């Protein structure tokens, strides 16, 4: 145990995600109850270290009632990299390095260590601070589930619930109107939300960045259903899919994309099949609102484990879930290694086995 810790900071960086408040609560309660430390909330990503007057104390009262709340009580930003912070100078945007200032402000705040909660980008910044000697540990966050050093990031399960619920609702209206419903979900360059929600939501077509597809094959699957007497279809599209060069009628798609993947694909299906198509872009609904029980539990375990890492003096590490156990890995192992869907993995296999098509380009 390191006895020289008195005060720790906590920051949430990057896009928000359900469960952030659960991690903050876990950190605050464990730090105070187990070790008697003071906890400071660093507001809006790392901005609170550039402007320390914006930081605020987090005591037990401050985190009361926040476990079911979405968002983050200390705010976040996905634009605040203190090593390359964008500022306006003489009417021009320039990048400045505020990292030394952040470290000085940590000392002024008497902050002995900090927990950084974030995705790949934010944890990369935490690693840069670690390499400058800052005592820092990390917690993996993302609805995209795209960090390979952990089995699951918190936030993913909630996003999955939202996407699956949307598919269940689209299912009934698609069936009534004999329509093709296209749902575009988030996930950045990974297809996890689309794949999991697609299977859980009993869709007919799943399109993900990891599996190149053609619109001919997608339309063919929809036509086959028609022939079998099923006049409606559900298509889930990951926002990051790589669009094929041509639509199902041989027309090239605009490059770069002028519309979202879901809209382009929906329009192309309508043009090629003559079916009535509707497109829903789920967007930030997946990121907001109350976290699922799974995410609340994972967030709490991650928060407590981060405090334990600090207590043991194990800095430069990120907590993670391996199987059923909370463990940790070094930042170097955690950042920059992307978790993408394995096209040959068991989940894609299961989806194919039950008749879901990925529109594979062969
Ligand atoms: O990484 C989380 C995520 O929600 C992605 O799924 C999505 O592509 C992106 O963030 C959206 O970012 P923003 O909130 O900046 O629009």
Centroid of ligand 1 to alpha carbon of 193 (angstroms) = 13
Distance CA 127, CA 70 (A): 26
Q: How far apart are CA 186 and CA 206, in angstroms?
A: 13
Q: Tell me: do 141 and 30 sit in the same domain.
A: yes
Is residue 88 helix, strand or coil? strand
Pair type for strands 38-42 and 56-57: antiparallel
Same domain? For 45 and 176 the reply is: no
In the structure, what pLDDT confidence band is assigned to residue 239 with cuts at 50, 70 and 90? very high
Tell me what pLDDT residue 256 has. Answer: 82
Q: Please indicate whether residue 155, judged by its CB atom, sits closer than 6 Å to ligand 1.
A: no
Say if residue 125 is in the same domain as residue 230: no
Closest to 258 in 3D by CA, of 250, 269, 267? 267
Query: Cβ(15) to ligand 1 under 6 A?
Result: yes
Encode pLDDT of 72-105 as tens digits.
Answer: 999 999 999 999 999 999 999 999 999 999 999 9
CATH number at residue 103: 3.40.50.450
**β-strand pairing of 38-42 with 136-140:** unpaired
In percent, the amount of the chain with pLDDT more than 90 equals 94
CA of 287 relative to ligand 1 center, distance in Å: 8
pLDDT digits (tens, 9 = 90+) for 184-215: 999 999 999 999 999 999 999 999 999 999 99
Position 362 in a domain = no
Instruction: For residue 222, give its domain range.
Output: 158-287+343-353
**Structural domain total, the chain:** 2
The reply to whether 177 and 135 lie within a common domain is no
The confidence band for 2, taking pLDDT boundaries of 50, 70 and 90, is low
Looking at the structure, do residues 150 and 162 belong to the same domain, yes or no?
A: no
Same domain flag for 138 and 30: yes
143 lines ligand 1 (CB under 6 A): yes
Poorest-confidence range of 220-224, 253-257, 311-315? 253-257
In whole angstroms, give the CA distance from residue 88 to residue 351: 50
Residues 289-328 pLDDT 10s:
999 999 999 999 999 999 999 999 999 999 999 999 999 9
Q: Is residue 91 part of a domain?
A: yes
CA distance 141 to 159: 12
Looking at the chain, which runs of residues are DSSP E strands? Answer: 7-12, 38-42, 56-57, 85-89, 92-96, 113-118, 136-140, 180-185, 205-207, 233-238, 277-281, 317-322, 325-330
Count of C-beta atoms within a 10 Å radius of residue 274: 8
Whether residue 331 lies inside any domain: the answer is: no
Task: Indicate whether 68 and 103 sit together in one domain.
Answer: yes
Nearest CA-CA partner of 117 in 72, 55, 80, 86: 72
Backbone angles phi, psi at 177, to 5 degrees: -100, 0
146 annotated active-site: no
Query: Ligand 1, from 16, 18, 70, 144: best to mutate by most atoms within 8 Å of Cβ?
Result: 144
Read off the pLDDT band of 1 (50, 70, 90): low
Q: From CA 154, how far away is CA 152, in angstroms rounded?
A: 6
Is the CB of 120 inside a 6 Å radius of any atom of ligand 1? no
308 is a domain residue: yes
| Higher per-residue pLDDT: 249 or 203 | 203
Average pLDDT, the chain: 96
Residues 150 and 168 reside in one and the same domain: no
Kindly give the number of the ligand 1 atom that is closest to the alpha carbon of 287: 4
Same domain flag for 119 and 206: no
Determine the distance separating the centroid of ligand 1 and the alpha carbon of 121, expressed in angstroms.
12
CA–CA–CA angle 319, 324, 330 (5° rounding):
25
246, part of any domain: yes
CB 19, CB 142: distance < 8 Å: no
The reply to whether 197 falls in a domain is: yes
Determine, yes or no, domain membership for 360: no
On the question of a cis peptide bond just before residue 202, with omega within 30 degrees of 0, the verdict is no
Burial class (CB in 10 A: 0-12, 13-18, 19+), 29: buried
Is the CB–ligand 1 distance for residue 186 below 6 Å? Answer: yes
Strand order in the sheet with 233-238: 205-207, 233-238, 180-185, 277-281
Q: Atom 13 in ligand 1: which residue has the minimum CA distance?
A: 15
């Amino acid at each position: 145990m390191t006895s020289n810790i008195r005060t720790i900071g906590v920051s949430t960086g990057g896009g928000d995600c359900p469960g952030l408040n659960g991690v903050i609560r876990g950190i605050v309660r464990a730090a105070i109850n187990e070790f008697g430390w003071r906890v400071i909330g660093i507001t809006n990503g790392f901005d609170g270290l550039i402007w320390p007057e914006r930081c605020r104390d987090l005591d037990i009262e401050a985190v009361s009632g926040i476990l079911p709340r979405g968002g983050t009580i200390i705010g976040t930003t996905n634009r605040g990299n203190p090593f390359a912070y964008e500022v306006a100078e003489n009417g021009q945007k320039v990048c400045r390095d505020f990292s030394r200032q952040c470290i000085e402000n940590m000392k002024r705040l008497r902050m002995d260590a900090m927990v950084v909660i974030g995705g790949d980008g934010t944890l990369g910044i935490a690693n840069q601070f670690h390499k400058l000697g800052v005592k820092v540990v990390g917690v993996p966050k993302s609805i995209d589930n795209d960090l390979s050093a952990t089995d699951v990031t918190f936030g993913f399960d909630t996003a999955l619930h939202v996407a699956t619920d949307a598919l269940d609702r689209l299912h009934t209206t698609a069936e009534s109107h004999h329509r093709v419903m296209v749902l575009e979900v988030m996930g950045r360059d990974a297809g996890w939300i689309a794949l999991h929600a697609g299977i859980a939501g009993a869709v007919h077509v799943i399109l993900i960045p990891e599996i190149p597809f053609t619109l001919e094959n997608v339309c063919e699957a929809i036509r086959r259903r028609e022939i079998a007497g099923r006049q409606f279809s559900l298509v889930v599209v990951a926002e990051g899919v790589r669009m094929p060069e041509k639509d199902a009628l041989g027309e090239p798609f605009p490059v770069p994309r002028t519309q979202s993947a879901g809209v382009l694909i929906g329009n192309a299906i309508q043009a090629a099949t003559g079916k009535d198509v509707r497109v829903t872009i789920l967007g930030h609904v997946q990121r907001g609102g109350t976290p699922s029980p799974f995410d609340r539990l994972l967030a709490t375990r991650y928060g407590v484990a981060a405090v334990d890492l600090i207590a043991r003096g194990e800095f430069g590490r990120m907590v993670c879930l391996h199987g059923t156990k909370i463990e940790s890995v070094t930042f170097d192992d955690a950042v920059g290694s992307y978790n993408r869907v394995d096209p040959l993995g068991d989940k894609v296999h299961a989806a194919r086995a039950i008749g879901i098509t990925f529109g594979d380009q062969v």
